[in-house]
Amino acid sequence: MSEVRAIFITGGGSGIGRATARLFANRGWRVGLADVNEAGLAETRGMIGGMASSYIMDVRDRDAWRASLDAFATASGGRLDVLFNNAGIGSGGPLAQATFEEIDRVVAVNFVGVLNGARIGYDYLARTPGSCLLNTASASAIYGTSGLATYSATKFAVRALTEALDGEWHGAGIKVRDLIPGFIETPLLDALPGNSNRTIREAVTAAGMELTSADTVAEAAWAAVHGDKVHTYVGKTAHRLAFAARWTPKGLRKRMRRA
């Protein structure tokens, strides 16, 4: 088995995935990049150079998961130290106005895609001592966010999966961690999902939440992989929501009603 540590990142074509790929590669890791965005993958790989390989992959496609992980395991000399289940899509607007197609897509990408990565990735992680499954949740997994109901529900599910697998996989020597960042400053926030008349960015700011940089989340990913916390909160928004959910839930409830 190769001595160079290896990380496989979904959603590697932009945002958190790109920032994390650059950070790990700069620290000597081999990086596997997966995304449906071919152009974004090429850009990220160009930033990293020879330590990266890329795979055009939809996280909903289980055959693509197996093929990509097989190929990356070959490239990495059999290692998979970290599988970063990061790919996700944004969704906003009132649930009563959302199309069923949008609801199905958000659930399939944001949660079923993470389940696919965990289920299929287990066999690869189990071959590498001290490996880690890292999932991207969200500050929206701390308290259900008005205007982001489906998105919030999927991120709660990711958080629950992380806790469950932290228990299940302990005996196999696999750490399971998640990141709970505030909303990330990316162009995805400017989307007008479904029948909504406001962008995701507008919904986030209306709820009183700030935006977090992708580079900040990448540093948190490094800390999560090397630390012992199941949940890593990232940014002021996440820490404030966690505090409010525990100590002032009535006030938080009122805020969400206004939002």
Active site residues: 151
CA distance 124 to 71: 11
Give dist(CA 73, CA 1) in Å, integer: 10
Torsion of CA 210, 211, 215, 217, to 10 degrees: 70
**Three-state SS at 70:** helix
Alpha-carbon separation of residue 27 from 30, 48, 65, 78, 199 (angstroms): 9, 11, 26, 20, 36
Residue type, 147: G
Of 25, 70, 75, 71, the C-alpha closest to 46 is 25
Burial classification of residue 29, based on how many CB atoms lie within 10 Å of its CB (0-12 exposed, 13-18 middle, 19 or more buried): buried
Cα–Cα distance, 29 to 63 (Å, whole number): 26
List alpha helices for 4-109, DSSP H: 15-26, 38-48, 62-75, 100-107
Helix H or strand E encompassing 120: helix 113-125
> What b/e readout covers 223-258, taking b as 16+ CB neighbours within 10 angstroms?
ebbeeeebbbbbbebbebbbebeeeeeeebeebeee
